[in-house]
Structure 1
């Protein structure tokens, strides 16, 4: 059975090979087919290669076990890679937009495209949607932020190609302004995706909590563990694809230290067994008389 990192590496290598081929044929089609929109789209595909290589680097670092300098492991390398990928997307989007915007005021430099970039564009969309599908499938399965970012990079490339095709067809019909205008639209798609990934990865780097629904589910698991009177506090923080959980439970103050430890151990095991994305659970135990007024009077273990 493949590990999460082997699955991620496998799908990323496939993406790199496809992107190398697409970059070459797009740039050739854009140059010989007289399409600025296809040239811009080719540069976008070239950035896909760099981001996919970044994912591979992140995978290689993330799978390393904890060490003296990184007591909590290296999983945040995936989030860091996603953050860098978002910056690459923003840069590529801005570059495409600026170059296309300049051409809007220099339409005499815009040539009428031929059929070559049109054919290449259609083929590219099919390949990029295939890349998005296989990448997002693995990303959701292993909960990888960097792979999700890379998947959306593939989708943004597909959307940018659609925009390029609209511009190419319009220019072929005599509306030259549509070719550079398509480049501007493409850039907006890329920038939007880049901003979304930037916000998500930034939150994770600042120990963003897990989703409320997941938090509520784990809180209920703790509450339903024998011997737990109440959950006084529940905190979570993301760590790459994984998460850490810290909670304080209330127990009967008359039980032994051993029994209190057993309750805490059961809470930890129950939460860990409920999800593959929980790396560690820390449970603090307090006697209910010093804990809170909301304690449920459950039967002692």
Structure 2
């Protein structure tokens, strides 16, 4: 994914977040007016539930804007401004849940006017459920945890409204469970506020990111041909985003190659993992016992084919003892993309990188395959340096 694609995806996610705020505001006002006019405590409580979503979404959005600001005193950015806003909102949500529950227990008993309350509840339910499902699909498509979380909020809101809807449907049959439904809605509000509070508290205490994402990041780094393994990986949440700091082992004594690999990986991580806002990689040299060399050949045991690397029919993969230079293993693999008509250099270059070579024998040129290999820190060995014993 290119930087432009990433910006477009984040831009679309931000637009959807704004639509979500406006829709929640519409639901909160609509349910609130209908609840007051009909005298339904449950519908009023559900309106407060929607209003808490407005406050939390707005707090997060404002926090995002503040988090993007730079200041010399905050080298990692003002990302926790968003967390502070969410923490303050969570307290307000919990207090709202308490008030709804208190009214449900001790408020005046009254029969709601279902002619007003029932249509409002039904429309609100359909809007919340429909938009929640649409938002959930968009979150998965755009790989946006924020949109996915927002979708879950809408689906939870639709469940809360469903409770109100059922309570209103059975009122004409002589069962006035409006206060009971308001009590259930209060539990929904309490739960939402508690989730916000715990999540914000974890961020402020520098909790690590979820283990699955951390494992995905480590696997991505260890796929690099020059990386032996990730020695250490420290991560932490930062207001809905996360930061990663890791030590890696590289099979190269060259500081230039080590810096190149580390810089490239830091850039690639930011693109591969949209929630990541800062990646720091410290390379450490480790002398491997063996060197992996790839040599393009015409056929098994055949002549060299170094002029056009991507078009070589076969590749000889040698495993060489780093100390004695003795060849311990030889393996021939056929070039699976040698007959490709389009993007051959790109396909072959990526395929060769998956073989994790330390060296590739080829004549220096600006072919796509060679550029990819050199950018990954693979050493390009000129064929003139080979002897009959090194084949």
Q: Which residue of structure 1 aligns with residue 278 of structure 2?
A: 280
Q: Which runs of 5+ in 2 are unaligned?
A: 293-357, 359-378, 380-391
1:43 to 14, 37, 48: 48
1:9–1:59 contact (8 Å) kept in structure 2 = no
Q: For the structure 1 residues 205 and 136, does the alpha-carbon distance in structure 2 shift closer, same or farther, using more than 3 Å as the test?
A: farther
Q: For the structure 1 residues 96 and 60, does the alpha-carbon distance in structure 2 shift closer, same or farther, using more than 3 Å as the test?
A: same
1:26–1:42 contact (8 Å) kept in structure 2 = yes
1:5–1:59 contact (8 Å) kept in structure 2 = no
Shift of 1:163: 1.6
- For residues 88-147 of structure 1, the C-alpha deviation after alignment (integer angstroms, 9 at most, x for no partner) is 3322222211110114xx5xx3225332201111011122224434555566636465x6
**TM-score, normalised to structure 2's length?**
0.63
Shift of 1:218: 2.3
Q: How many residues align?
A: 288
For residues 81 and 208 of structure 1, the distance between their equivalents in structure 2, rounded to whole angstroms, comes to: 17
For residues 213 and 248 of structure 1, the distance between their equivalents in structure 2, rounded to whole angstroms, comes to: 19
For residues 269 and 56 of structure 1, the distance between their equivalents in structure 2, rounded to whole angstroms, comes to: 25
Q: Which residue of structure 2 aligns with residue 10 of structure 1?
A: 15
2:144–2:274 contact (8 Å) kept in structure 1 = no
- For residues 157-189 of structure 1, the C-alpha deviation after alignment (integer angstroms, 9 at most, x for no partner) is 32222222222233332122x110011111112
For residues 88 and 136 of structure 1, the distance between their equivalents in structure 2, rounded to whole angstroms, comes to: 26
For residues 228 and 12 of structure 1, the distance between their equivalents in structure 2, rounded to whole angstroms, comes to: 38
Q: For the structure 1 residues 102 and 278, does the alpha-carbon distance in structure 2 shift closer, same or farther, using more than 3 Å as the test?
A: same
1:226–1:263 contact (8 Å) kept in structure 2 = no
Q: Which residue of structure 1 aligns with residue 88 of structure 2?
A: 84
For residues 84 and 135 of structure 2, the distance between their equivalents in structure 1, rounded to whole angstroms, comes to: 18
- Asked whether 1:113 is paired with 2:117, we answer no
- Asked whether 1:213 is paired with 2:212, we answer yes
1:79–1:204 contact (8 Å) kept in structure 2 = yes
Q: For the structure 1 residues 59 and 101, does the alpha-carbon distance in structure 2 shift closer, same or farther, using more than 3 Å as the test?
A: same
Give secondary structure in 1 for the equivalent of 2:170. helix
Task: Report which of the two has the higher share of helix.
Answer: 1
Q: Which runs of 5+ in 1 are unaligned?
A: 290-294
Give secondary structure in 2 for the equivalent of 1:229. strand
- Asked whether 1:94 is paired with 2:94, we answer no
Shift of 1:56: 3.5
Larger deviation, residues 238-247 vs 262-271: 262-271
Q: Which residue of structure 2 aligns with residue 292 of structure 1?
A: none
Shift of 1:252: 5.1
Q: Which residue of structure 2 aligns with residue 30 of structure 1?
A: 35
Q: For the structure 1 residues 191 and 139, does the alpha-carbon distance in structure 2 shift closer, same or farther, using more than 3 Å as the test?
A: farther
Q: For the structure 1 residues 90 and 3, does the alpha-carbon distance in structure 2 shift closer, same or farther, using more than 3 Å as the test?
A: farther
Question: RMSD across aligned C-alpha pairs, in angstroms?
Answer: 3.2
Q: For the structure 1 residues 274 and 27, does the alpha-carbon distance in structure 2 shift closer, same or farther, using more than 3 Å as the test?
A: closer
For residues 126 and 296 of structure 1, the distance between their equivalents in structure 2, rounded to whole angstroms, comes to: 64
Q: Which residue of structure 1 aligns with residue 61 of structure 2?
A: 56
1:76–1:205 contact (8 Å) kept in structure 2 = yes
Give secondary structure in 1 for the equivalent of 2:245. strand
For residues 186 and 240 of structure 2, the distance between their equivalents in structure 1, rounded to whole angstroms, comes to: 29
For residues 200 and 289 of structure 2, the distance between their equivalents in structure 1, rounded to whole angstroms, comes to: 39
2:221–2:265 contact (8 Å) kept in structure 1 = yes
Q: Which residue of structure 1 aligns with residue 322 of structure 2?
A: none
For residues 169 and 143 of structure 1, the distance between their equivalents in structure 2, rounded to whole angstroms, comes to: 37
Q: For the structure 1 residues 131 and 88, does the alpha-carbon distance in structure 2 shift closer, same or farther, using more than 3 Å as the test?
A: farther
Larger radius of gyration: 2
